[in-house]
Amino acid sequence: MKTDLIEESWELNNPSPRTAWLRAIMTPLAVLHRVGLWCYLLPYRLGMRQQHILPICVISIGNLVSGGTGKTPTTLWLVRALRDAGLRVVILSRGHGRTNESVDPVMIVSDLRAVRVDNPEWSGDEPLHIAKSLPGTPVIVARNRRDSGDVAVAQFQPDVIVLDDGMQYWQLHRDIEICLLDARQPFGNGWMLPRGPLREPISHLSKSEVVVLTRADQASPESLAKLTANIKARSPEIWVTQSSHVPICWLSTDGQQGALDEMKGLSVIAVTAIADADQFFTTLRTLGLNIIKEVKFPDHHPYVKSDIDALLAGPDMASTHVVVTTEKDMVKLGHQWPKSATPLAALRIETRPVDHDALIEAVLDRIVRRNRGDIEV
């Protein structure tokens, strides 16, 4: 409820009196956030503090705003493309929601052979989802990505490291910064947290080498052209591309795949704990599902048995054919789901930039030149 009220106050055309007082409080806090960030980054700009530099190319995938812009699907797309090109890749992630961080600050979730830590409470939901989606690609979680980067280089000798959600991790040098912007509302209301969803000022977009306008199929050609021109005006060298989220298939709790049309017309309960839950529900309706109940939990919510029991005991369950969720939620729900209960299915969604081939070629060239020492860091 608290999060919903804050996000309601971010809406551009919301004159609600109940959020007016909240905006008044959060406005000076947002100013302090911006000033504090400027002060934090000043030693880096003055050369008084140095970023940790790894001996190989580091690619960061992140965003300017809080919430879901498609970082995980984009990470999966990029890593698959790099692997297809014959490169050894390691993924570094923060591991939000880990419960054993103090015991194991740098955890190898998966290695070249298998998933080592098949527990989302220890690994975090997104890293485990990534590890299961990319068998054979090591995934390491740690708050300190400098340490996890050193572990990656020492243990796996990769050609490139992909930093998942790394745009605000200033301590580690990145060679390629890929920033994702939701094409429908790329900068929210233009305010920094907590007055708005921006994690850092819009001006910081200029540090990116690539900007991907996600969910571009849901924006008009005119708005896409205007947004592209806005980005290019900040830095003409930025590679601006577009991508869309594409439903691929359904997944059962045991990993079996089903065609998208298998669920068309069924009555379902939709449950999720992702940042953009409403977009997930919209996608389900476009696939022809009859949603009789929407259940939203906070992002990264750690599902417990009581959550599942309450869901299955609800009055709507009698008329429900399937409970549907996201692939990220499935790594937390699947192993807890009772075998005798209403079936649980997850929707697999993938993304791919429109100029995939040219973009990957440019990224590969940058990796080769960085690893060869042709680019000074």
Mean pLDDT (whole number) for 203-227: 96
Mean pLDDT (whole number) for 155-168: 97
pLDDT the model gives residue 368: 96
Please tell me whether the peptide bond between 194 and the residue prior to it is cis, using omega within 30 degrees of 0: yes
Mean pLDDT (whole number) for 260-281: 95
| Listed range (8-12, 142-146, 218-222, 348-352) with the worst mean pLDDT | 8-12
Q: Which residues of 152-171 are buried (b: 16+ CB within 10 A; e: fewer)?
A: beeebebbbbbbbbbbebee
Q: What is the DSSP track for 164-178?
A: ET-TT-TTB--SEEE
pTM of the entire predicted model: 0.94
pLDDT the model gives residue 182: 96
Question: Percent of the chain having pLDDT more than 70?
Answer: 98
- Under the banding of pLDDT at 50, 70 and 90, the label for residue 18 is confident
pLDDT the model gives residue 1: 44
List domains and CATH numbers for the chain: 2-45 (no CATH), 57-244+352-372 (3.40.50.300), 246-350 (3.40.50)
Write the DSSP symbol of residue 343. P
**Statement: residue 2 has pLDDT above 60:** no
CB–CB of 134/87 below 8 Å?
no
The tens digit of pLDDT for each residue in 54-88 reads: 999 999 999 999 988 999 999 999 999 999 999 99
Supply the mean pLDDT for the chain. 94
